[in-house]
Structure 1
């Protein structure tokens, strides 16, 4: 790689690290091309990306970003998974690691917080933003529906009483 290409890679990675909500670092040694392609497609469908770059270039790109604390993890054959959604990349990475023992999660970063492998797993176990929104809407909607049922109940009781008198007189 020429110097100009290296500068472009460092600049692109620096922008990625500055804009990502979460970054996951993993070893991928021994992973087949098909498995790596599957990981990339799963990550892309969840709104994230997977990149493989030289560790030295990644360390240079990390300088000056919130995630510079993960530079120590860049040893050996590592790949970087990242996404703007703080739940997407960890969920896909942990799910993929369960099915592939050659994919080992080393850690990651969320903002200025450096995560170890257990931290990434804990982050992956949290519900997604959409799940939290649906639960919140359900909690807000429940009292309103209870109030509506309570207000409708006296009218329904009155209708049942009138119907019972009607059946009694018909008999």
Structure 2
């Protein structure tokens, strides 16, 4: 009897049987990393080179006051997560060596956070994402130099109010002049 291969037929493989089963720890990390990418507005990727436990502990203590989190990554798991998102271009960054990500939703403290991390020469900023935008190292540097959202709002309100204040002063000027003339005559 001829074999299916000799007849040009291929054996069908059940798709569910081909699905790879991962160990529980890897699945857990995959879900954790997915939530890091999806649930945080800001994610910066750092390479940590030969940091001692003491240095890492100090960095984490410095960051503890804010709403940010520093997570050491397993490159293969994070690369798998990034391939399944719109941030697949970040995959080479997490595969460059020992990496960690800083995640936060607090725009106001970005400068202080990056200052804490970059003051240690063993922490190298590689890039990141903000909202749905990929960022290079230069982009991150420029973004952290921008003023905070509260400052920009205050400036905007001041700019909008300035013409109204000027108009009010102009309209009050004749009344003040009449008042001062009457005061001098009386």
| Match status 1:7 vs 2:27 | yes
CA distance in 1, matches of 2:165, 2:125: 45
CA distance in 2, matches of 1:105, 1:8: 26
Unpaired runs of at least 5, structure 2: 1-21
**TM-score with structure 2 length normalisation?**
0.75
SS in 2 for 1:25: strand
Matched residue, 1:76: 97
Matched residue, 2:124: 104
**Runs ≥4 in structure 1, deviation > 6 angstroms?**
none
**TM-score with structure 1 length normalisation?**
0.81
More helix by share: 1
In the superposition, relative to structure 1, how do residues 50 and 84 fare at CA in structure 2: closer, same or farther (>3 Å)?
same
Q: Which moved more, 1:146-155 or 1:106-115?
A: 106-115
Say how many residue pairs are matched.
Answer: 164
Cα deviation code 1:47-83 (max 9, x no counterpart): 3221112111111222322222111011211110122
Cα deviation code 1:26-51 (max 9, x no counterpart): 11223344543454355454432211
Matched residue, 2:4: none
Preserved CA contact (<8 Å) 1:43 1:92? no
Matched residue, 2:152: 132
The structure with more radius of gyration: 2
